[in-house]
Structure 1
Amino acid sequence: MSEYSERQAFPAVNVQVNHVEPVPRRIRAVLAGETVLDTTRARYVWEVPYYPRYYIPLDDIRGDLLVADGSGPQDGPRGRVHLHGLRVGDIERPGAATVVRESPIAGLSATVCFEWGALDAWFEEDEQVFVHPRSPYVRVDALRSTRRVRIERDGVLLAESSSPVMVFETGLPTRYYLNRTDVDFRRLIPTDTVTACPYKGTTSGYWSARIGERLHPDLAWCYDFPTAALLPIAGLVAFYNERVDLFIDGHQVDRPRNRAARAAG
Structure 2
Amino acid sequence: MAIKLSEVILGAFPQLRYEPTAKRVRASLGGNTVVDTIHARLVWEPRRITPIFAVPEAELRAELVPAGGPTADVAELPVKLSADSPPSLDPRTGFGRHTTTGEQLDVVTGTTTAPGAAFRLDDPELAGYVVLDFAAFQWREDDEEIIGHPRDPFHRVDIRASSLDVEVSLEGVTLASTNGAQLLYETFLPVRYYIPPGDVRLDLMEESRTRTVCPYKGEARYWTYPGSESGRNVAWSYDRRFRDAAQIHGLISFFNERVDLTVDGVLQPRPVTPWSRPQARA
Indicate the TM-score class for this superposition, using the shorter chain for normalisation: 0.7 to 0.9
Please, which of 95, 98, 116 is the counterpart of residue 116 of structure 2? Answer: 95
Q: 1:60 to 1:48 in 2, by over 3 A?
A: same
Distance in 2 between residues matched to 1:25 and 1:208, nearest whole Å:
39
Mapping of 1:78-157 within 5 angstroms? 81-88=102-109, 91-100=112-121, 103-106=122-125, 108-119=126-137, 121-157=138-174
Letter in 2 for 1:194: R
What is the rounded CA distance, in whole Å, between the counterparts of 1:175 and 1:206 in structure 2?
Answer: 15
Q: Provide structure 1 residue ranges, at least 5 long, that are not aligned to the other structure.
A: 1-9
Aligned CA distance change for structure 1 residues 11 and 175 (closer, same or farther; 3 Å): farther
1:195 alignment partner, SS class? strand
Residue 237 (1) aligns with residue 236 (2): no
In 2 relative to 1, CA 182–11 (structure 1 residues): closer, same or farther, beyond 3 Å?
farther
Q: Alpha carbons of 1:63 and 1:39: their partners in 2 closer, same or farther (altered >3 Å)?
A: same
Please report how far the alpha carbon of residue 52 of structure 1 lies from its aligned counterpart in structure 2 after TM superposition. 2.5
CA distance in 2, matches of 1:113, 1:193: 29
User: Structure 1 residue 160: deviation in Å?
Assistant: 0.9
Secondary structure (helix, strand or coil) at the match of 2:245 reads: helix
Q: Map Cα deviations across residues 3-28 of structure 1 (whole Å, 9 max, x no partner).
A: xxxxxxx9993235223221121111
Q: Deviations over 1:107-152 (max 9, x none)?
A: x111111112111x22222232222222111111111111111100
- Look up the equivalent residue of 2:150 and give its one-letter code: P
Hey, what does 1:13 align to over in structure 2?
Answer: 9
Partner Cα separation in structure 1 for residue 118 and residue 204 of structure 2: 46
Partner secondary structure for residue 242 of structure 1: coil
Question: Structure 2-normalised TM-score?
Answer: 0.78
125-134 or 244-253, larger mean C-alpha shift: 125-134
The one-letter amino acid paired with 1:206 is Y
Q: 1:4 is matched with which residue? A: none
| Highest RCO, 1 vs 2 (Cα 8 Å, sep ≥ 6) | 1
Secondary structure of 1:194's aligned partner: strand
2:56–2:129 CA contact under 8 A, matched in 1: yes
Equivalent pairs counted in the alignment come to 244
Q: Deviations over 1:53-109 (max 9, x none)?
A: 221001221134x343368xxxx9766x44321344654321111134xx4432x11
Between stretches 240-249 and 49-58, larger displacement belongs to 49-58
Contact 1:226 1:233 in 2 (8 A): no
The 1:193–1:78 alpha-carbon spacing in structure 2 relative to 1, beyond 3 Å, is closer
Corresponding residue for 1:23?
A: 21
SS at match of 1:192: strand
Q: C-alpha root-mean-square deviation of aligned residues, in Å?
A: 2.6
Alpha-carbon separation, structure 1, partners of 2:153 and 2:256: 26
**Cα separation, partners in 2 of 1:38 and 1:12, compared to 1, 3 Å:** farther
Q: Percent identical across equivalent pairs?
A: 35
TM score, norm. by length of structure 1: 0.83
Structure 1 210/20 Cα, relative in aligned 2: closer, same or farther at 3 Å? closer
Change (3 A) 1:70 1:151: closer
Q: Distance in 1 between matches of 2:67 and 2:206?
A: 46
Distance 1:26 1:135 in 2: 15
Change beyond 3 A, Cα 1:116–1:226: same
